[in-house]
Amino acid sequence: MTGDERERLIRAEFPAASDTVYLNTAAEGLAGGTMERALNRYAAAKRRGSAGRAELTETASSLKERLARRLECRTGDLALYSSVSEAIGTVLHGLPWEAGDNVVITDLEFPGAMIGCLALSRLIGIDVRVVSHRDGEIETGEIAARIDARTRLVILSHVSFHSGLRFDIEAVTEAAHRQGALILVDASQSLGAVPVAVGDVDFLVACSFKWLTGSHGTALLYARPALDDPLSRHLTGWQGVTDFLGVMRTHEYAPKAGAARYEAGMPNYPAIYALHDALGLLDALDPPWIEARVQRQAGAIRALCCELGLRVLTPADPARRAGIVAFAHPDAQAIGDALAARGVTAWYRDGRLRFSPHVYTSDADVQALRPALTAAVGGRTPSPV
């Protein structure tokens, strides 16, 4: 595909990106035209009743193949859930916790994971060790220092929803394994923007409605095959066994190998169709090209924020960030409202404003941000860096 063809395809698939400066992928990715086509294909298959079932299951298998190719894992090591919170809950509640165990997590995590840990702590008394950030940053060593022989699980986002910091997953995985702990990585804010491979992590989760430009209603869970079912307790059902109609079905539980055993019943096929086709488009646009574009736009936005004297929370080094650029400001709400009035969609809450450009963000969008942000920030006391 030539550069012009790619730009035309992006404009045709994401028309909303032409109407507004859309910089809010970290909350909601824009859906491409693939969404409507995929849902229509699902509807056409469903209208055929049981005759459409083969297409449903083929699409689900094909989706897992696309995900497995990206993540460099096997399809059987993936399970589909309705949300990341549900996938993380499956791991949290499935591990064989003992009194005195702890989970290590940071305050740069999306609240869903933290709430899951705190709820489990109330139930069975595990210790929740929270590593605190300073101005959006945490060093690997600070996490490693909190992991000990009683740590059963480390939970870490690949890219923080809060500050945009991209963690060195390999280094933290090594630190966790050195102490015999498992690691769960949340790739919701990176998969679709920058390369994500499972490597040696034990669990990896990601939602589909942000950087993957899919719909709500499905999320993935990867579980490392070397582990012999580390989740001693988990939900399952007829989708999780090798032969649900086999003669032994009233006597024997014969789970599928790998994470596929954690799937219980009929999955969310509309969401599967949506994600399947969204991935097809992202693959056609070329993931390394998307990564370069995201990095360039995020870098330019970060530079603009620095130029305006804002208290930027996101590291400068492209290896330590992906598509999120955030700054702290006491007037984040007013600045965000002023940007919205000028046609810029960003995310702002709890004293932070966050930009998140994606494949559909053009150079013209970033140029348009300059006067809008300058005017929105102008006259407001900047926080000291």
Ligand X SMILES: Cc1ncc(COP(=O)(O)O)c(C=O)c1O
Contact flags string 285-304 toward ligand X, x per CB under 6 A: --------------------
Instruction: Look at strands 182-186 and 127-131 and give their pairing.
Output: unpaired
CB 186 within 8 A of CB 156: yes
Nearer to ligand X, 32 or 112 (CB): 112
- Relative to beta strand 102-106, strand 344-345 is unpaired
Do residues 191 and 206 make contact, with C-beta atoms less than 8 angstroms apart? yes
Of these, 157, 163, 297, 314, which contacts ligand X (CB under 6 A)? 157
Measured N-to-C along each axis, helices 287-307 and 269-285 cross at an angle, to the nearest 10 degrees, of: 80
SS3 183: strand
Could you say which residues in the range 75-114 bind ligand X, by CB under 6 A? 83-85, 110, 112
Q: Residue 145 Cβ, how far from ligand X at the closest point, in Å?
A: 23
Residue 192 interacting with ligand X (CB under 6 A):
no
Q: Are 277 and 59 in contact (CB under 8 A)?
A: no
Nearest approach, Cβ of residue 250 and ligand X (Å): 36
Which of 20/83 has CB closer to ligand X?
83
Binder among 189, 213, 215, 356 for ligand X (CB under 6 A)? 189
What is the Cα–Cα distance from 375 to 125, expressed in whole angstroms? 50
Stretch that binds ligand X, among 5-13, 135-143, 167-175, 182-190 (CB under 6 A): 182-190
- Enter the DSSP assignment of 222: E
One-character DSSP codes across 146-167: T--TTEEEEEEESB-TTT-BBP
Question: Smaller CB distance to ligand X: residue 314 or 372?
Answer: 314
Which residues neighbour 341 within 8 Å (Cβ) at sequence distance 6 or greater? none
Letters for 215-234 (x = contact with ligand X by CB under 6 A, - = none) are: ----x---------------
Residue type present at position 261: R
Distance CA 138, CA 134 (A): 7
Nearer to ligand X, 83 or 362 (CB): 83
CB of 384 to ligand X, least distance (A): 28
Nearer to ligand X, 115 or 227 (CB): 115
- Closest distance to ligand X from the beta carbon of 186 (Å): 5
Binding span for ligand X by CB under 6 A among 185-193, 252-260, 267-275, 279-287: 185-193
The footprint of ligand X (CB under 6 A) covers: 83-85, 110, 112, 157, 161, 186, 188-189, 207, 219
